Structure 1
Amino acid sequence: METVVDATVPLDQFVLEEAIERVPDVELEFVQSAVHSSACPMPFLWASTNHPDRLETALEDDPSTERVRHLSRDDDRDLYSVDWTAGATGLIDGFSEADGSVLDVRGTADHWLFRILFPDRSMASETFQTWCDAGTDVSLSRVGSLSCRAGDTGGLSATQHTTIAQAFQTDYYDVPRGTTLEELAAEFEVSHQAVSERLRRGHSHLVERMLSESTVGSEGRP
């Protein structure tokens, strides 16, 4: 049965460690490409931060990048094109060429999160053991089937899911509120703007998903 794994990797064992340390509120997301050159894996990167000017400089100065170009701005995030160094390319290939399909790669101030779809649990186990044998400090935060995972998080990123769950558990959605954005921000050690953005994007995704499923259901009825 297909298996989806969430694996976390320390910042110092992947790319952009220095850039993330210099701009700790940043959230990074690789753009998954159907086709890309093996010489330049994962060339596109979304970035969300309250300090975009600082981030661009940090990305350009990071030892894992050779060239960084700002391509566009959408909503409150920026799209970059990145040419990686040879060492960084090897690290990226080591994860993206796992015996599975990389669904998502995201970076925060704490770690990198990889979400990978494997044909079965044995293949996932073999890949995890290969990483461990190579000295990579990988931690599995979640293992489950594709259908189970969709129901678990509603398609949210791990950060969005954690933030919304914490907001719910601390009565942020009650009237009057049991907690504030500032208190949630202190909990996650980020700015209140960053928490607000996580909640907004998470809510938007959940509503979009709900409306999409509702539309599909209505179209299927006679």
Structure 2
Amino acid sequence: MTQTQKSNPLFELLINIVIPSVILMKFSGEQDLGAVGGLLVALAFPLGWGAFELLGRSKVNFFSVLGLVSILLTGGIGLLQLDTQWLAVKEAAIPGLIGLAVLVSTRTRYPLVKTLLYNPTLIDVARVQQHLEARGTVRDFEARLQHATYMLGGTFFFSAAMNYFLASWIVTSPAGSEAFNAELGRLTLVSYPMIALPSMLMMMGALYYLARATRELAGLKLSEALNTGDARPQS
């Protein structure tokens, strides 16, 4: 079986943000693609890439599906010419629902922090668990995971609040108009530095918190706990 190739972040940035934003802002006029045509062409890039990613994986990724649903909802709001307030609600609802799911998962056997941060793709979970059991600190580490889950949930709630604020502030023209498309493109561009980057920093903070817990409770440095793909003998 061939190993799944890693995505190129720059390529994904172009496909999902830059190209759609340029189309919406510069090519949605009646002399170009038109409001509806510009919206459809712009959405086709992230929608097509997301579908390609889903079809290329052996199992469905929840967040990829959520991204596709978000794109379809955005397109639906524009094509059906719904009130722009629905766009703000949609922009806030997606990360808000994820944040809620993260918090609810703390009451289950499978907290989402283990899927998003403490997962075998990123962390050598088996090695960390072995060291935790040897030191008798498994329960303490589970408590730290709980705290990291709250931090992760806060990241998504921050994103939801900022999404709602920016969408309400930037997108004010009637849906389905050329101005609506331009504002939607501007929202896409602005949301990256004002939402995605701060959220990424907050998530890195949660990861650092876990790394410190791993060092204190398992006696492993971050470089030792990361899953590098190398087969290491168990100590």
Both proteins in one fold, TM over 0.5: no
For the aligned pair, the TM-score class normalised by the smaller chain equals under 0.3
Taking structure 1 as the reference length, the TM-score comes to 0.24
Q: What is the TM-score normalised by the length of structure 2?
A: 0.23
* Higher Rg of the two aligned structures: 2
